[in-house]
Homo-oligomer: A and B are copies of this chain.
Amino acid sequence: MEKITMADIAQLAGVTKSTVSRYFNGGYVRQETRERIQEVIKKYNYTPNTFARLKARNSRVVGVVVPALNSKITGRVITSIDRYLRKEGYETLIKNSDHDVKQELENIRQLMSLNVDGILLSAITITPEHLELTQNSPVPIVVLAQECPGGFSVVDDDYQAGFAMGQLVGRSHPSHPAYLGVEESDIAVGIERRRGVLEGLKSCGIPDVRIFQGDYSYESGQEMTRRALRSGPVDALICATDRLAYGAYRVLGEMGLSIPGDVAVAGFGGYDESALLTPILTTLKFDSYTLGYLGAETLLKLIRQEPVPQKQVVGFQMIPGGSLRS
């Protein structure tokens, strides 16, 4: 199959490529001509090369940068974005940063030079370089899941979610609560969520919480749990993500400690798998579908120069399980 171009289609339909171009971009084409062109297109399964539209004002392509492709949550967010954009006649171009900040910045630059109409950025962290890049961007950018000072963002309500979970755990008045968290470079999870948890506990009269820090992995969850247990008595573990809670389950099980009898456990994320644990993990689900949807919607509004809020906060939902004491 030879590559077929717009000029070929034009010739076959007995018109100029100008007309075929207009056909695709909603310009004036007589009904009769339109039908002739359509026929040829169908026959040759022609799709115009989106990226040869070098002179077009808008490319109808939106770039999405994600930190990784192996997380359920990211999957949900992208799927949601993709569906919305497709519905609106935009193409989605996905770039993976693979948890590497350098790669992430590179991805943003690449997308910019590709003259996409806009960028949806699910950032690992917001560095000064990010700010410079987003503030001087030739195209609109919407940041997902992290706040972006001076930029537009759609975020989860990490503080309120943390507070709610802190209160829920606090209600049973644990004597030795511990928090398993992540790096502070992730403002949303590493700082805001933790702050919520601590204040939620404090509101129940529990000011002292032992705090641990690690990465997002299952292994890190295990390691932090061991560290917590070694550091003194523990009767409640609030984990920054469900994955970390899985690590806690494993270690507590190995040590013969019962959940929630000996140690209560809570997570964040509401992964489907959490409902399969024994006991079912008490967790909290962010609305990733809405996050993606609003992100895409906001970006298109920016592209169309319509007014949008600087920051939008998406809700969450508590998913009670059996891993807390009542």
Contacts and interface: CB of A to CB of B under 8 A. Distances in A.
Interface string A230-256: 000000000000000010011000000
A95 B271 CA distance: 25
B49 A113 contact: yes
A109, A114, A249 pick with most chain B CB within 10 angstroms: A114
Contact of A98 (B82, B110, B250): B82
- Interface size bracket, A side: 35 or more
A54 to B, nearest CB: 6
A71 B75 contact: yes
Interface string A72-105: 1011101100110000000111111010000000
Interface string A285-324: 0000000000000000000000000000000000000000
B276 A113 contact: no
A68, A92, A113 pick with most chain B CB within 10 angstroms: A113
A52 interface: yes
Interface string A263-281: 0000000011101111000
A94 B97 CA distance: 13
A51 interface: yes
Interface string A92-131: 1111101000000010011011110000000000000000
Nearest to A94: B94
Contacts of A2: 138
Interface string A200-219: 00000000000000000010
Nearest to A76: B70
B113 A3 contact: yes
A246 B280 CA distance: 13
27 contacts: A1-B136, A3-B113, A46-B113, A47-B106, A47-B109, A47-B112, A49-B115, A50-B110, A50-B114, A51-B51, A51-B114, A69-B74, A69-B75, A69-B78, A69-B82, A70-B72, A70-B76, A78-B96, A79-B96, A79-B98, A82-B96, A93-B93, A93-B94, A94-B94, A246-B272, A246-B276, A250-B276
Interface of A: 1-3, 45-52, 54, 68-72, 74-76, 78-79, 82-83, 91-96, 98, 106, 109-110, 112-115, 136-138, 218, 246, 249-250, 271-273, 275-278
